[in-house]
Amino acid sequence: MADIIQLLPDHVANQIAAGEVVQRPASVVKELLENAIDAEATTIKLIIKDAGKTLIQVIDNGKGMSTTDARLSFERHATSKIKTADDLFHLNTKGFRGEALASIAAIAHVELKTRQEQVETGTSICIEGSHMVSQEVVVTPIGTSVSVKNLFFNIPARRNFLKSDTVELRHVIDEFHRVALAHPKVHFLLYNNGSETFNLPVSNYRQRIVNIFGSKTNEKLVPVEEETEVIKISGFVGKPEFAKKTRGEQYFFVNNRFIRSAYLNHAILSAFEGLIKTGTHPSYFLNLTVDPQTIDINIHPTKTEIKFDDEHTLYAILRSAVKHSLGQFNISPVLDFERDSNLDTPYNYSKSTVRAPKIEIDRNYNPFQDSESFKRQTSSFNKRPSDSWDSLYVGLDSKNITPQGNSDMKFEGEASDGSLFESNEQVNMTYQLHNKYIISAIKSGMLVIDQYRAHQRVLYEDFLQNMTVKEAVSQQLLFALELHFSSQEIEIIKQLKEDLEHTGFVFSKIANESVEITGVPLNVPESEVSIILEQLINDVQHEVPNSNFSAIDLLAKSMAKSLAIKTGQILKKDEQEYIVNRLFACKEPNISPANRLIFITVGVDELDKKFI
């Protein structure tokens, strides 16, 4: 029998490795930015076009590479970071697997230009799909420039799985934020389609956060500092009143490396317990410094998950540090938060002796001495003024009450012989169960309706109709409402401005970090406007429906989700009936805008079977 096992060619092996390392344009951005950091660059410029699908270029002023190093950097498992397996537990650099450039070059057109400080000329290398195209000597600045063009050009199936430019751009900016936040001493620039999106000069950590997320972020931050033998914690958490419904501004850095940890995130949430509403998430930007020997960062290809030796200790220290900071800066309530200062003992009487109070009694007081005058007043009040009352009804005979020519008119309160319904069963009887479901009786049994999903469907179709017909009603605000957002979020609002105006929003001004609103859709409370816009921005960034849906549909779904009555809200009878009637007037009453079941039918037969 012939042998069937064979070694894969290098270009095939590189494409398989690229599936682990490069999932989308943001993966390339992450690898190239980390390489620039490892090269000790002080200025890093990121240039992208079409959300990175057409071009990703990273230019740094780091150490650069020699001609031999430049060529070897594209080989598999080629790295300058480690030499033995023990080095994996003493890592102080970003990249160490040696697969980044080789994987990227296997699925894109890559051009590398690099030069070291001690030489006058540099090296230029062009690779397309793992095949060397050219290598030559060029004149180039000190440092390295890597251009990645036409990502996934030789794997069309992978390219088809990429999301829209809006979603891919959000992932790219997220990676840019993670690297920029971890290294405030490095100057970062980001250019998107020729325009400057971020220019982050060298600064301290707090200023770097403000430069990324907007000037209003400064007043939201509470510093956190703690140092023990196990861990050193530094950074900031957001004040409880600025907690959001989304998890956007949550960053953990371990030894200047961004990580995700649901366990440590739970420690932060427990520290905020009782300070934020259910369903909201606090912001935090925390740097954790630990001994590299106590962590393993080689458990995930993207190196965003880390295994700690003693997670329980880190959990307790982190929770205590955050809780201490919230209390130290008077964010969390103290034990005597209900104390009334008016009840304090005055200073002049604080040392005086306690004396029994004197009670004086008027022994000559007689409560019955005015009883005769009281009787006279009572008798005069109860006297019937019959003569004057009779005069009010003069001329109002029964024959004058009935209008001319309409003797059959019936008045409210008269008994009716007939019945509005043939049966004596009361229709449209509704009940609310656990403040979550509406129970409505029907002929064959009953309906169990999810009130949140039902109201979502009603609002969704209303908004969709208003935006399509462009005849929405707006209610003017007495005072203009000013909301603050980051520059990235402002760009999304600009894109959706026209559609938002068709729903009833009126924008008087859109600046770099703020918007001014003078009108909102009918029945939208002013306090909900910021929540609606935040949820909308989050949905657009994550593209909750896929790219096959229009922006109007996405907007209608997002607003309906924000404004629908929530689970747990008590509804009156008329409100319950309103939702039921409006639901079955919709075009699609069966499913919510998120394609989830709205109601179920429980027949009388099913109920009878329960009692057999």
pLDDT in tens, 34-83: 889 988 899 999 999 999 999 999 999 999 999 988 888 888 766 665 55
Residue 591: strand, helix, or coil: strand
- Is CATH 3.40.50.970 the right assignment for the domain spanning 212-328? no
- Cα–Cα dist 579/574, whole Å: 9
Q: How confident is the model at residue 539, as a pLDDT? A: 77
More confident residue, 580 or 389: 580
For residue 611, the number of C-alpha atoms closer than 13 Å in the C-beta half-sphere is 4
Instruction: Classify domain 433-601 by CATH architecture.
Output: 2-Layer Sandwich (3.30)
Name the region of 499 (left: φ>0; alpha: ψ -120 to 50; beta: rest): alpha
Among 132, 141, 155, 119, which Cα is nearest to 22's?
155
> Is the pLDDT score of 184 beyond 80?
yes
More confident residue, 210 or 365: 210
- Cα–Cα dist 189/178, whole Å: 14
Q: Where in the chain is the domain with CATH 3.30.230.10?
A: 212-328
Q: Where in the chain is the domain with CATH 3.30.1370.100?
A: 433-601
Q: How confident is the model at residue 419, as a pLDDT? A: 44
Q: How confident is the model at residue 531, as a pLDDT? A: 82
Q: How confident is the model at residue 202, as a pLDDT? A: 94
* Residue 566 per-residue DSSP state: P
Q: Could you give the angle at the alpha carbon of 445 between the alpha carbons of 439 and 449, nearest 5°?
A: 30
Edge-to-edge, what's the strand order for the sheet holding 187-192?
A: 131-138, 122-128, 109-115, 143-149, 55-60, 43-49, 187-192, 195-200
Among 330, 379, 46, which Cα is nearest to 186's?
46
Give the tokens for residue 424. Answer: 């004596």
DSSP per-residue string spanning 112-147: EEEE-TT-S-EEEEEEETTEEEEEEEE---SEEEEE
Give the tokens for residue 555. Answer: 């907007």
Residue 405: strand, helix, or coil: coil
Asked if residues 255 and 92 have their Cβ atoms less than 8 Å apart, the reply is yes
Reported confidence tier of residue 283, pLDDT bands at 50, 70, 90: very high
Say what the pTM is: 0.68
pLDDT in tens, 359-407: 777 777 777 766 555 555 555 545 555 555 555 555 555 545 555 545 4
- Cα–Cα dist 266/254, whole Å: 17
Give the tokens for residue 161. Answer: 């799985």
Q: Where in the chain is the domain with CATH 3.30.565.10?
A: 10-200
Give the tokens for residue 280. Answer: 């909201």
Average confidence score pLDDT of the chain: 81
Q: Strand 187-192 and strand 43-49: pairing? A: parallel
Class of 10-200 per CATH? alpha beta
Strand partners, 296: 307
The residue behind tokens 């995930």 is 300
Give the tokens for residue 332. Answer: 């969390």
> Is the pLDDT score of 514 beyond 70?
yes
Length of the chain: 612
Task: Name the percent of the chain lying above pLDDT 70.
Answer: 77
> Is the pLDDT score of 506 beyond 80?
yes
Among 303, 295, 258, which Cα is nearest to 97's?
303
Reported confidence tier of residue 586, pLDDT bands at 50, 70, 90: very high
> Is the pLDDT score of 146 beyond 90?
yes
Reported confidence tier of residue 497, pLDDT bands at 50, 70, 90: confident
